[in-house]
Structure 1
Amino acid sequence: MYSNQSSWEYYMIAAVGESLIDRIGDKDVVGGCAFNTALAASRLGAAVTFFGKVSKDQYGSMILEKMIDDGVLFDPELCNAEEPTLCSKVVLDDEGKAKYVFDYKNTAACTFTKAELSKSFANETDIDLVFFGSISLLMEPGCEEIMPAINSIDSRPKYFLDPNIRPSMVIDSEAYRLMIFSLVGGCDIVKASDEDIAFLFPDLPLEEAERRFASLCEWNLVVTRGAKGSTWYTKFFKVDCPAVKVDNLVDTIGCGDTFNAAIMEYLQTNNLIGQISELDKPTVERILEHASKAAALNCTKEGCDPPYRDEL
């Protein structure tokens, strides 16, 4: 593994999935759910490795430079793909909310195999939390390789899933829903936006859909609603957290990823990863407040540009 930092105080978070380039107007910005989450977690002080294919092209060089600059570990053997970097066109509405159009066919992002990922995981013996989700669960061939590879990790880490659904990439909605439902029961934390919930349960009112999904997730479900705040459902209680007010919002790119990262960083920093199923209400409240602050700061900058620890 490569990093510009020589040692880590904690065990490792693994972010598995895609890196890409977001085209915002005439500007190219490094992005991707797994990549953004790794970047944000590292900036907040977590020990994190990104596991995903990176192209040899000039955009791949941008991705590598970003990881080196921000202390994200990576496996050089996964960073030699001949295929070009995945690019997405970002369209912002009047409120700064982003929609994405992906040019993903025959790109490097998810060309990894189970064998490649498993070999890379084996070189990182202290993984205790794995993050995955988003479009990497849709793009072949990698989408079929992720779970077998993750399940091969000897340390038996906890799983954190963010579906981060991009409807424009979903060909068969019902098959996709069943796939997500099959995954969530085996995860230790699931984070979903209100838009994700609405897509998964199109015929149910949102609150009923959230509770239905929480039961499928065995009750460690975090739901985000942008300016309307967030909710963490557990088997024993529910915690609502208001959003942090953002007066100078630029866009929402990477806000959900930053929210994910802040949750994982808090768990790692406070040695709580092994106690995810036993978190008490005050702890959950603190985690949501921490994640909300981090996500709000990301909203004040263009693209995914998450805060550093001292900014919180």
Structure 2
Amino acid sequence: MTSPASPVLVIGECVADIVRSGAAPDRVHPGGSPANVAYGLARLGRPATLLTELGPDANGRLIRRHLESAGVRVRAAEVDRTPSAVVELDGQGRARYTFDIRWTLPPTEPAEAPAAIHLGSIAAVTEPGAASVRALVERWRGRAQISYDPNVRPALMGDRAEAVRRVERWVALSDLVKAGDEDLAWLYPGERPEVVAERWLALGPATVAVTLGAEGAFARTADGGRAEAAARPVPVADTVGAGDSFMAAFLHARAAGAGLATCLTHAVTAAALTVARPGANPPSAAELAAALTAGPQPRSEASVD
């Protein structure tokens, strides 16, 4: 376990999300799943460094200012243009992505020893940069807590069987894995999320958490811990960044020594606050604390403290 002040190294892509909804003008939001997690951690008061790539363009400057405004330390290799994604929203605020992205992170080392490393999404599966990420994580495994979110983007995953192999390799390297039910449905068509979670636990992580959209979330641990949390009903602006807010809040609560059920309810609450406003806009520590005071407690069974 790490202390709440211990630094987290987050590795992965920044993306300029070009949000498109009906006849409304396009809106550009800073995004990218790992970048969102780093921002969410910083908003909650946890020091975070983001190892990423940015272009020398307006989108790159926008994203850097956004991250640094929350206190994220940005270590960015320069690329010719900042990655982008057109995010099309349906009538319920659900997002569909079309990407313009490459990931070429060179071999690197952290500037300081991290207490925890978080990675996932495009940066974990897109070569040649994924090889650099893998080598760094393998060097620090056992010395830093590793967390992973596959954040599946089918258009970028290639062959499904190969994608499953890559994802499961990351699962086996991690201490904590979080996935959404849509991720699991693409990776393992027809399988229940609870079954996949148990299989992933057998690969090595201590904890697996799964988000279920409007049905809330559940978490399981290798030593038999179980927790569930209902979704919080909120008006939906859009779902952009909700899973990343979940991840950041879960990591922050766990670092503070919270039990499994408490980590889960912090995470579900942070996701709900994000869904209720446009873009990947996670809550501050004060906003999350206020919502938790007003919110329901999780349903749990043999949760790990």
- Alignment TM-score, normalising by the size of structure 1: 0.85
**In the alignment, is the contact (CA less than 8 A) between 2:138 and 2:173 conserved in 1?**
no
Q: For the residues of structure 1 that align with 2:100 and 2:145, how far apart are their CA atoms?
A: 32
1:187-266 counterparts in 2 under 5 A? 187-235=174-222, 236-246=224-234, 248-266=235-253
Q: For the residues of structure 1 that align with 2:122 and 2:262, how far apart are their CA atoms?
A: 30
Code of the aligned partner of 2:43: R
- State the shift of 1:18 in Å: 0.2
Number of residue pairs matched?
Answer: 280
1:88 and 2:75 correspond: no
The residue aligned with 1:21 is 16
Select which of 124, 146, 160 maps to 2:112: 124
1:111 and 2:104 correspond: yes
CA deviation profile, 1:13-54 (whole Å, cap 9, x unmatched): 111000010001211111001000000110011111111111
1:128-167 counterparts in 2 under 5 A? 128-153=115-140, 156-167=143-154
Q: For the residues of structure 2 that align with 1:62 and 1:155, how far apart are their CA atoms?
A: 35
Select which of 261, 266, 287 maps to 2:263: 287
Mind listing any 5+ residue stretches in structure 2 that lack a counterpart?
A: 21-25, 289-305
Q: 1:218 to 1:155 in 2, by over 3 A?
A: closer
1:100 and 2:87 correspond: no
SS for the counterpart of 1:310 is helix
- State the shift of 1:155 in Å: 8.0
- State the shift of 1:134 in Å: 0.6
**In the alignment, is the contact (CA less than 8 A) between 1:198 and 1:209 conserved in 2?**
no
The residue aligned with 1:300 is 276
Q: For the residues of structure 2 that align with 1:288 and 1:210, how far apart are their CA atoms?
A: 15
Code of the aligned partner of 1:214: L
Q: For the residues of structure 2 that align with 1:208 and 1:155, how far apart are their CA atoms?
A: 27
The residue aligned with 2:37 is 37
- State the shift of 1:242 in Å: 0.7
Q: For the residues of structure 2 that align with 1:95 and 1:215, how far apart are their CA atoms?
A: 36
SS for the counterpart of 1:95 is coil
Q: For the residues of structure 2 that align with 1:148 and 1:42, how far apart are their CA atoms?
A: 26
Code of the aligned partner of 1:32: G
CA deviation profile, 1:65-107 (whole Å, cap 9, x unmatched): 11221110122xx35x141011101011221111111012xx4
Percent identical? 30
**In the alignment, is the contact (CA less than 8 A) between 1:197 and 1:210 conserved in 2?**
no
CA deviation profile, 1:107-146 (whole Å, cap 9, x unmatched): 4xx22111xx21xx0x213x11111011112322201210
Task: Give the ranges of 4+ consecutive aligned residues of structure 1 lying more than 6 Å apart after TM superposition.
Answer: none
SS for the counterpart of 1:185 is helix
CA deviation profile, 1:190-247 (whole Å, cap 9, x unmatched): 001111112222243444333333333545110100110111111213111111111x
Q: For the residues of structure 2 that align with 1:41 and 1:129, how far apart are their CA atoms?
A: 12
SS for the counterpart of 2:139 is coil
Q: 1:93 to 1:9 in 2, by over 3 A?
A: closer
- Alignment TM-score, normalising by the size of structure 2: 0.87
Q: For the residues of structure 2 that align with 1:49 and 1:155, how far apart are their CA atoms?
A: 20
Q: For the residues of structure 2 that align with 1:134 and 1:29, how far apart are their CA atoms?
A: 18
Q: 1:73 to 1:285 in 2, by over 3 A?
A: same
Code of the aligned partner of 2:120: G
